[in-house]
Amino acid sequence: MKAQKVEKKSVKVLKYATSLHQLKEPAYFLNGYLCTQSYLQKIKSEDVKNIYVVKKDTTVNRVDYYGQIFIELKKDIKIPDFIYVSQLDSIYKEIPKIPTIYSIDNEPVEDPYTKLIDKNSILDLEVHELGKIIEGFELQIVNVITKKEENTKYKKHVTH
């Protein structure tokens, strides 16, 4: 196996599969919240207080994981205000409470019950009501526009 260079500025988790069983992802928890490995790459290693590894398979929100990794940040480090995408309709009242397909920056969200988003990263919400698809069944698409650089530039351009 080829060694990978590890940056000092972020937490990197390397996985090596020695069996098919190990191809499953571990469940990552940041200060108690389930999160993705890609999110952890945004965390600076000097902000980490503790890392705990539990070598036991687990199921969270109907998803099977191979082990658990708990990362605790230092108390003075501000973490994002995480919510599950499925909670957006309870926070933003402009989203009607009907069946919803969610996307973030036009990328579909596979499971809104396990996908976390930082409330502070939300620039805008687009709600597309599709109406009645079949008798008695309404559907909508909610696209979350994040504060990525290209989105903020576009919004400034459109509003001026």
Is the pTM higher than 0.85? The answer reads no
Is it the case that residue 70 has pLDDT exceeding 90?
Answer: yes
Tokens of 112: 């809104």
Give the pLDDT confidence score for residue 107 in this predicted structure.
92
pLDDT > 90: what percent of the chain?
Answer: 13
Q: Tell me the pLDDT tens digit for each residue of 11-36.
A: 555 555 455 555 678 889 888 888 77
Is it the case that residue 6 has pLDDT exceeding 90?
Answer: no
Distance CA 9, CA 4 (A): 15
φ/ψ (deg, to 5) at 112? -65, -10
Domain locations along the chain: 20-73, 82-159
Over range 40-60, report the average pLDDT: 86
Residue/partner pairs of 123-128 with CB below 8 Å, 24 or more apart? 123/147, 123/151, 123/152, 123/155, 124/151, 124/155, 125/88, 125/92, 125/94, 125/95, 127/94, 127/95, 127/96
Q: In 3D, which of 90, 84, 83, 82 has the Cα closest to residue 112?
A: 84
Distance CA 160, CA 147 (A): 18
Q: Tell me the pLDDT tens digit for each residue of 87-140.
A: 888 887 777 788 888 999 999 999 898 888 888 888 888 888 887 777 778 888
Tokens of 116: 């976390």
Q: Hey, what amino acid is at 110?
A: E
Q: Which residue has the higher pLDDT, 116 or 158?
A: 116
Is it the case that residue 147 has pLDDT exceeding 70?
Answer: yes
Distance CA 85, CA 97 (A): 14
